Structure 1
Amino acid sequence: MTATPEELLELFGLLKVEDFPARFNIAPTQPILVVVASERPAPGSNLPERKALLARWGFTPGWVKDPRSFPLLTNARAETAADKAAFRAAMRHRRVLVPASGFYEWHRPPKGIRGVSQAYWVRPKRGGIVAFAGLMETWSSADGSEVDTAAILTTRANEAVGHVHDRMPVVIQPEAFTRWLDCRTQEPRDVADLMGPAPEELFEAIPVSGRVNKVANSGPEIQEEVTPATGAASETEDLSGDGSGQLSLF
């Protein structure tokens, strides 16, 4: 997420957004920026005001008693989220937008076939930022403290991303922001048409080094293009994609 506050204000129609540093390698459990529709109307409009806030990337349903014993839900499958106990309430009442400059994903050899995994930086071809469809839940502990948590919705990959992975984030186009955020009149079935693959021309996949697998590597150099890896894996090569704390987005 490397957008400027000015870019966010313009794309999402926000009244204000706090200044923040560029972040080149955001990992699960870290804070991510989300855009929500507030309860009050925007000045000079009958549409709800939009505001930006930070949420923990890792969704925790309100009914969970101890998050430490609950799986880390970074993603929700768009095809089934409305029916899953963990996401059902958020799909109906707490849909959000997640601004992003792109995402990383790993292409891995088919199961049972030894080979080399390759990381990719998937970014908008024309630059700028996109809005992933997200869900938010505020988890409350027994002592009354609260944590805003969020997950990103995914769908089947389009051809531009499909050679890397069979899933991709759901991208909400600017003209559909109001519909997606409108949880008062738009039920999950009313926004189901927004949750398909992104247009083919939106993204390009750039091969990058495995440095993205370490959360500590957080500078722009991890997005530098490399020659895609080929050949057999070494005995010591980490093919998991999460051996150093970074997880596959999907």
Structure 2
Amino acid sequence: MCGRYASIKAPADLADEFRAVDATDGAARADYNVAPTKQIVTVVQRHPRDADGNPDPDTTERTLRMVRWGLVPSWAKDPKAGARMINARSESAATKPAFRRALNARRCLIPADGWFEWQRGENHKQPYYTHYADGSSLAMAGLWEYWKPKDDPDNQYPDGLVTATVLTAEAVGPLAQIHDRMPLVLPPSAWDAWLDPDAPADADAVTALLRPPSEDLVARLELRPVSPMVNSVRNNGPELLAELAPEEVREPLQLDLLAGPNPK
């Protein structure tokens, strides 16, 4: 699963990396401990609309958008459902009522500098931080949805609510030492196909991307044990990414299996 991650890069840098237009309106902030229900940066690609709301079928625009983490299905009675839908299994998203419509038409990328996962041991949980060795952003496959209440007497949601979920897959290679699931990370070569708003969920190019990441992609990742400070959402700073001293790790992983490529 993916329940915490770091999102540090400035929107201008993300816009350049993902070839997108920054539409976050200054709302994005560096966050070393992104948790469910927070506002997060997503990359979406849509047909632009004219003043009357009609989409232009001949062109698309890729933008960075702020949404809330935890997908609220369009048919939900209230937004509390989102707290239980921070992740969607890639193997079953096409058949789940909460996710199938979004998989068909509202796919997104969720940029991350790295994600946290907890290795469960006897009477303890050791957090690990996983990231690309070269500092590139991870592109986690996501789905987004628009929700608006049928009745809103207090006008709490005048513009509705846009939310998102992170797709997960079976953990690959050494990552399985920590947890049996991982975010569905997509390489840059897959971004266009995933974001294409005109490609239905059953298109070959889309279904192929729902498989676990390749071993080549995983080989580019580095893992390190980090402080349990990340366990609390109140903690937020670069110290959360610092590697834990070996003597403080109760059940070290087989680190020889985790050596990524030389970043040079």
Q: TM-score range by the shorter chain?
A: 0.7 to 0.9
SS in 1 for 2:65: strand
Determine which of 191, 201, 204 is the counterpart of 1:187. 201
Q: Map 1:1-250 onto structure 2 (within 5 A).
A: 1-18=7-24, 19=26, 20-40=28-48, 48-68=60-80, 72-109=84-121, 114-141=122-149, 142-143=151-152, 145=158, 146-190=160-204, 191-198=206-213, 199-226=217-244, 227=246, 229-230=249-250
* Deviation of the 1:130 alpha carbon: 1.4
Alignment gaps of 5+ in structure 1: 232-250
| Partners of 2:142 and 2:132 in 1: CA distance | 18
Q: How many residues align?
A: 223
1:74–1:151 contact (8 Å) kept in structure 2: yes
* Deviation of the 1:200 alpha carbon: 2.4
Post-superposition Cα deviations, 1:68-124, rounded to whole Å, max 9, x if no partner, equal 367520000000000001101001010011011010000003xxxx33210001111
- Seen in structure 2, the aligned counterparts of structure 1 residues 55 and 70 have a Cα distance that, compared at 3 Å, is closer
Deviates more, 1:201-210 or 1:191-200: 191-200
* Deviation of the 1:203 alpha carbon: 1.4
2:12–2:22 contact (8 Å) kept in structure 1: no
1:3–1:128 contact (8 Å) kept in structure 2: no
| Partners of 1:129 and 1:69 in 2: CA distance | 29
| Partners of 2:166 and 2:197 in 1: CA distance | 17
* Deviation of the 1:35 alpha carbon: 0.8
1:107–1:118 contact (8 Å) kept in structure 2: yes
RMSD: 2.0
| Partners of 1:78 and 1:202 in 2: CA distance | 22
- Seen in structure 2, the aligned counterparts of structure 1 residues 126 and 47 have a Cα distance that, compared at 3 Å, is farther
| Partners of 1:136 and 1:91 in 2: CA distance | 8
- Seen in structure 2, the aligned counterparts of structure 1 residues 179 and 63 have a Cα distance that, compared at 3 Å, is same
2:36–2:83 contact (8 Å) kept in structure 1: no
Partner of 1:242: none
* Deviation of the 1:25 alpha carbon: 0.3
1:161–1:203 contact (8 Å) kept in structure 2: no
The sequence identity of aligned pairs, in percent, is 37
Name the amino acid aligned to 1:229.
V
Deviates more, 1:125-134 or 1:142-151: 142-151
